[in-house]
Amino acid sequence: MSSHHTEDQDIAILAPFGRDAALIGSVLRQSGLSVRVVANPVELITGVPEHAAVAIVAEEALSDREINELASKLDGQPAWSDFPVIVLTGSGMSTAATELAVRARAPLKNVSLLERPLRPATLISLARTVLAARRRQYEIRNHLRERKLNEEALRSARDALETIVEERTCALRRLSAQLLRVQDEERRRIARELHDSLGQYLAAAKINLDTLVFNSPDGDTCFHDLQQLIDRCISETRTLSHLLHPPLLDLTGFSSAATWYVEGFGKRSGIKASLKLPEKLGRLPTGVETALFRIMQEALTNVHRHSNSRAVEVTLAIDQSVALLMIRDFGTGISAETLEQFQQSGSNVGVGLAGIRERVRELGGNFEIESNSRGTNLQASIPLTDPEKNELDEAPVSQIYSSLAN
């Protein structure tokens, strides 16, 4: 066959004595097979199984030591390979010596015996049979290589996708945190505007109306109705302003703001609300106080809207460098399916719980929910020192949007 055959398709022949090698090579070449005659056992042992498909070896060509060396070499074959060896044996009756020689070649494992004198048809048939089996092994090898390449390509693609997803997830988290901060600032601004502008205008109108009522000789009932309406507007404007951002939160901290809010929540909702705070609770980091208040606010809103609970307990505990906020109700609870989906992906719930989790995550804390038919318990633990912020934390919203779009 032409030299374009790869070496691992060759039939290696080791028959250094007499004309066996020349005759075998001639017969096999005439049948279109690729043949390579090796000069000595060292060349054979060195070349298989990497550079030959089959070995034809005269039994007298290998000593016991060389058989063991060849067997040791073949023991290192890959899993797909079972290198075939055709041993040319002597002719005549079986003797103790020939049986010993056959047993001595057992370590080579995949051994076929061919008696001399050789018949060309038998030689060609056996050579073709073992070569076909060897080629099927090569097909398995190629399949394994192709599968490995495909697996590596898939692994590379998966790693690339995971990197992209991680980057996008990181950017989305930063965007969410940024939006929450912007939302808090906007609430603070609107609350200030309601108190400083609209509240002052209503107060001035109330003063003028009181003057008109005082100067009215008949005490017109219309003026009294207007007085009541303006009083209600002033009260609701003050309440709305405080709900958006209670001044107590900035002035005296979470303790005062939480006490005011829980008491007001109980009056507005009709739900018995209790608050338990640590003794002598001082000021906490500003970001932590804002997060704790917003978490409590969202949780109590959910209790009022969804739980059908008649009571709710709010507890704040300070454990070393962690603030632990717990809100427990005694309502109908969250379904197991909904709770599982939220814990796995954050889906299938309203923006309230998702917002709570983002606030806690932004500050490096943990958020847990336990719920059953007897009620729901929310726990948010937040470190009392703000985590270090990276460049993306400080990036404007437009820049984060841009990173997501790329």
Q: Where are the alpha helices (DSSP H) in 93-220?
A: 96-104, 120-193, 199-215
| Stronger pLDDT, 245 or 62, i.e. the higher one | 62
Residue 15 phi, psi dihedral angles, 5° rounding: -145, 75
For the segment 347-386, what is each residue's pLDDT rounded down to a tens digit? Answer: 555 567 888 888 888 888 999 999 998 999 999 999 987 5
The DSSP line for 150-170 is: HHHHHHHHHHHHHHHHHHHHH
pLDDT at position 248: 79
**What number is the average pLDDT over the span 103-130?**
88
Could you tell me if 329 and 375 are in contact, meaning their C-beta atoms sit under 8 angstroms apart? yes
pLDDT higher than threshold 70 for residue 6: no
- 214-223, 239-248, 364-373: lowest mean pLDDT where? 214-223
How far apart CA 359 and CA 227 sit, in angstroms, is: 42
Tokens matching residue 346:
């954050």
Residues 6 or more apart whose CB falls under 8 angstroms from that of 333 comprise: 307, 371, 372, 373, 374, 375, 376
How far apart CA 287 and CA 81 sit, in angstroms, is: 66
pLDDT at position 388: 43
For the segment 382-404, what is each residue's pLDDT rounded down to a tens digit? Answer: 998 754 443 334 445 445 445 44
Amino acid in position 52? A
How far apart CA 336 and CA 333 sit, in angstroms, is: 9
Residues 6 or more apart whose CB falls under 8 angstroms from that of 47 comprise: 12, 38
pLDDT higher than threshold 70 for residue 345: no
CATH class of the domain defined by 8-118: alpha beta
Amino acid in position 307? S
Distances (CA, A) of 321 to 254, 258, 371, 381: 16, 20, 27, 10
Residues 6 or more apart whose CB falls under 8 angstroms from that of 374 comprise: 330, 333
pLDDT at position 243: 65
Could you tell me if 113 and 59 are in contact, meaning their C-beta atoms sit under 8 angstroms apart? no
Could you tell me if 189 and 250 are in contact, meaning their C-beta atoms sit under 8 angstroms apart? no
CATH, domain range 248-388:
3.30.565.10
pLDDT at position 258: 92
Tokens matching residue 196:
């400083």
pLDDT higher than threshold 70 for residue 93: no
| Domain boundaries of the chain, sorted by first residue | 8-118, 248-388
- 29-33, 76-80, 92-96, 318-322: lowest mean pLDDT where? 92-96
Query: Which of the 8 DSSP states describes residue 9?
Result: G
| Stronger pLDDT, 148 or 227, i.e. the higher one | 148
